Chains A and B, each alone.
Chain A
Amino acid sequence: MTLTHIVFLILAGLALAGAVGMVALRNLVHMVLAMVLAFLAVAGVFILLEAGFVAVVQILIYVGALAVLVLFAIMLTRDIMDRRVRANASQWPWALLVAVALFALLSAILLRTSWPTATTAITGDQVVALGEALVGPYALPFEAASVLLLVAMIGAILIAREARR
């Protein structure tokens, strides 16, 4: 049990606590705060995996942009904190059963498989390599992703726009 193990366990615990809060809390604003906790802890796990750029992107997009976007959507739709409204659909016991069964199956498979344990150290600057890959061999997917973002932006504006009468 080294320090890395302890840090991983703390981060995983925080992420799982945030995730459980996300699906269990009934107040939507509290739910977004739990989501921020979970996503920040996941960014920490990325840092443990020595993927610094992905961790920063995770914090920028999920904690920064997505949380603000969801908060705006919550503020634009009313009566969500109404105490009389149920938070869960009527099929929630089945949902719980499916989720627990899938987790039992997955963890049984994952713990029985023998994974490679020996790892080599990372050499060189990964951020430089990522940037070069995005304009080199991965230029086409990169451009496709930017077109996707543009289409999503235009689509979101068109869908959410108030219809003129």
Chain B
Amino acid sequence: MIPLSWYLVFAAALFCIGLYGVLARRHAIGLLMGVELMLNAANINLVAFERYMAPNGLAGQLFVIFNITVAAAEAAVGLALIIAIYRSRNTVAVEEVDLLRG
């Protein structure tokens, strides 16, 4: 059996790559995909903890399913926002969307 810490370190690496993507990318779609990567890392942790701590419980997997639902809703609304911003500002670079900057 694979040690639990392998899964956790793997998920941490995935989370940190996603965090870098969110902080560093200039394109709004790149940001959104970084967030999806971070959510995926959290899902790995949930399933791994369930498998090792409570193998016959279902809470971990159910939480992952709800997590994926929320991620799908977030992606749909996020991409719609990106398209709306592109229509009105003609750009998708997050640095150039600064209407609220004082």
Interface residues of A (CB under 8 A from B): 4-5, 8, 12, 15-16, 19-20, 22-23, 28, 31-32, 35, 38-39, 42, 45-46, 48-51, 53-54, 57-58, 61-62, 65-66, 69-70, 72-74, 76-77, 80, 85-92, 94-96, 98-100, 102-103, 106-107, 110-111, 113, 115-117, 119-124, 126, 129-130, 133-134, 138, 141, 145, 148-149, 151-153, 155-157, 159-160, 162
Contacts and interface: CB of A to CB of B under 8 A. Distances in A.
Contacts of A31: 30, 33
A116 B52 contact: yes
B83 to A, nearest CB: 5
A13 B32 CA distance: 23
B2 interface: yes
By secondary structure, the A interface counts as: helix
13 contacts: A4-B1, A12-B10, A16-B10, A57-B68, A76-B83, A86-B26, A94-B23, A107-B12, A107-B13, A126-B58, A149-B69, A157-B80, A160-B79
Contact of B5 (A57, A99, A111): A111
Given A15-B10, A91-B24, A115 B61 contact: no
B80 A160 contact: yes
Given A77-B29, A151-B73, 5 more contacts: A20-B17, A66-B72, A80-B92, A95-B24, A155-B80
B77 A89 contact: no
Nearest to A146: B69
B14 to A, nearest CB: 6
Contacts of B71: 61
B92 A42 contact: no
Contacts of B84: 159-160
